[in-house]
Amino acid sequence: MSGEMHFYLVAIPVVVLYGLSKGGFSGLGSLGVPLLSLVTSPVRAAAIVLPILIVQDWVSVWAFRRDYSLRNLLILTPSAIVGIAAGSLLASRVSDDAVRLAIGMISIAFVAYMLIRDRLKRAPVERPGIPSGILWGSLSGFTSFVSHAGAPPFQVYVMPQYLKPRIFAGTATIFFAAVNLLKIPPYFLLGQFTRDNLFVSAWLMPIAVLSTFAGVWLVRRVPPARFYGAILALTFLIGLKLTYDAVLALV
């Protein structure tokens, strides 16, 4: 029971972070799977979170159903399948410590990317290219499969295009809704959609919905910069811990 309570003490804040992220504080969800990986298998953590994300994503798809870049979706979505397949092979053929190492490094890289992103000078608008789209779409699919952290590769590809805010948000929403659906068969084959895992997802779902509404309410009242600074610091520290523990276990 103590182990179960320990899990829920971590899982509930994680679901709140995902809800706040969907409610407007984009990026807060990057902390979710790395944080859950401290108390359970990384693959199990991602499997528990996936049904929650799917429900949240398709609510957002309805809101942005008319605002998206079709060219970006046609380039990125098929490319993500390659990354999802690679992530599935990684999860099924290597140890939990190796997956923790991957998640730790992804977390550290994500923080580094977020820190330098706002320091880059505005460059000329770029047309979405197919070769670069295949690269970043594959990376987004891989990082999304391993830790539901596919946003940084997606942003690296799409942000230089300087799309209108609603087009950018709609493209991201539809892309990740499709990616999350594509992740269902590999997670099923990995045996992670067990009755226990789905029960945990269902138990946490109301918290996710309530926290999404809380995010919508808070985003209008709280400066997001304060949230982002704290989340980036925590993401970096957790990434360091996961990387350190994994290296010790693998050496």
CB 35 within 8 A of CB 237: no
Q: Give the pLDDT of residue 216.
A: 64
Asked which of 1-5, 7-11, 163-167, 218-222 is least confident by mean pLDDT, the reply is: 1-5
Q: What is the mean pLDDT of residues 236-242?
A: 81
Higher local confidence (pLDDT), 199 or 29: 199
**Interatomic CA distance for residues 246 and 96, integer angstroms:** 9
- Sorted by where each begins, the domain ranges of the chain are 2-250
Q: How many CB atoms lie within 10 A of CB 237?
A: 14
The pTM of the full predicted model, rounded to 2 decimals, is 0.75
Rounded CA separation 94/54 (Å): 26
Tokens of 188: 């099923």
Can you say whether residue 27 is alpha, beta or left, with left for phi > 0 and alpha for psi between -120 and 50 degrees?
Answer: left
Q: Distance (Å, rounded) from C-alpha 239 to C-alpha 149?
A: 13
pLDDT at 125: 61
Model pLDDT for residues 71-108, shown as the tens digit of each residue: 999 999 999 999 999 988 877 777 777 777 877 887 78
**CA angle, residues 22, 198, 192, in degrees to nearest 5:** 100
Long-range contacts formed by 245-248: CB under 8 A, 24+ apart: 245/97, 245/100, 246/97, 246/98, 246/100, 246/101, 246/104, 247/101
Torsion from C-alpha of 26, 30, 31, 36, nearest 10 degrees = 130
User: What is the DSSP track for 31-95?
Assistant: GHHHHHTTTS-HHHHHHHHHHHHHHHHHHHHHHTTT---HHHHHHHHHHHHHHHHHHHHHHHHS-
